[in-house]
Chains A and B, each alone.
Chain A
Amino acid sequence: MYSKLISCLLVLIPSLSNGHELTPTYPKLRPSYIDGVLVTDMHMWNRREDAQYYEINVYDDEWNPIPFAATERIFQIDYLAHKELEIYIREKDEEKVEYICTTSKQLKEDVKSTGIKSMICSRVR
């Protein structure tokens, strides 16, 4: 009976929870309007009520940062809002690029005791 109650609560809890989502899983780089620069489009959906700022980062397979350009590296996104992200990467880095990630940035006053930093990484293949 007790385990059923717990299972029921766990099913109900997600409706109250907060989430962070980044798609596609495997983005493709394509030529941009600038010579020698590639671009990819990512889609972000913020379902975290406690986090409204996110940071974009691009890494190689050893998690070393790769230079990139975007309209904003740290951007504000309202709760339940969607955002399209255009990420520009130099053509010479095309073979090195492995991960494109977004990481939540919480304001100090939004963290009560233990905050949760969420990070989702798509893989460029």
Chain B
Amino acid sequence: MFKSIVTLGALLMATSAFAVDSPITGNVSSKCSVYTDTAGVYGNPNPDELSTLPADGGVMPIIRYDVTIADYYTAKLSWPNSFTSAPSLTDSLTWDGEIEVASTSDTGMAGYEAAKIEYENHTEYDLTVAGSTWFKVTSNVTYGVDKPLPGGEYKANVTAVCIAN
């Protein structure tokens, strides 16, 4: 009798031990994050020119996009076509630029550069693979016709947009 009670008690205790088992669950929702990895700097290779190319003494801005789920977002990046602040300028400016994939976290993103859509100063990439993509921005501006840029501080903005599909 006593043995049966002990056995039954042990069985019940074992059951209660299972009852405290507590699973951890999690959920990753779709999300896009835009990171400013490197702020760009203009170099002044010629008196009438500013450029972010390292060969011209500049630093190219690098922007990282993280997407948690594939096919949920489009990246739209735009190189500058005006200064946000500059000394007083009396002649015209000619802007040029290029957005390129600098690096990717997944080999499936290898086709991003070939599939990009360019118009005006904008470039669009379909973020069809989950992970991180780094984009580098080339910006170049020339002033007048061989006219030196006035001395002072020049600032321009790169725009990085992440749009839900």
Contacts and interface: CB of A to CB of B under 8 A. Distances in A.
Contacts of B157: 106, 111, 114-117
A108 B85 contact: yes
Interface string A14-57: 10111111111110000000000000000000011010000000
Contacts of B137: 114
A20 B52 CA distance: 24
Given A114-B39, A115-B156, A10 B134 contact: yes
Given A19-B33, A47-B33, A119-B161, A114 B61 contact: yes
A116 B163 contact: no
Q: What secondary structure prevails in chain B residues at the interface with A?
A: strand
A20 B41 contact: no
B142 to A, nearest CB: 16
A113 B36 contact: no
Interface residues of A, number: 35
A112 B37 contact: no
Interface of A: 6-7, 10, 13-14, 16-26, 47-48, 50, 99, 106, 108, 111-123
20 contacts: A17-B35, A19-B36, A20-B35, A25-B73, A26-B164, A47-B35, A48-B36, A50-B39, A111-B157, A113-B156, A114-B42, A114-B80, A114-B137, A115-B39, A115-B157, A116-B40, A116-B63, A117-B158, A118-B34, A118-B36
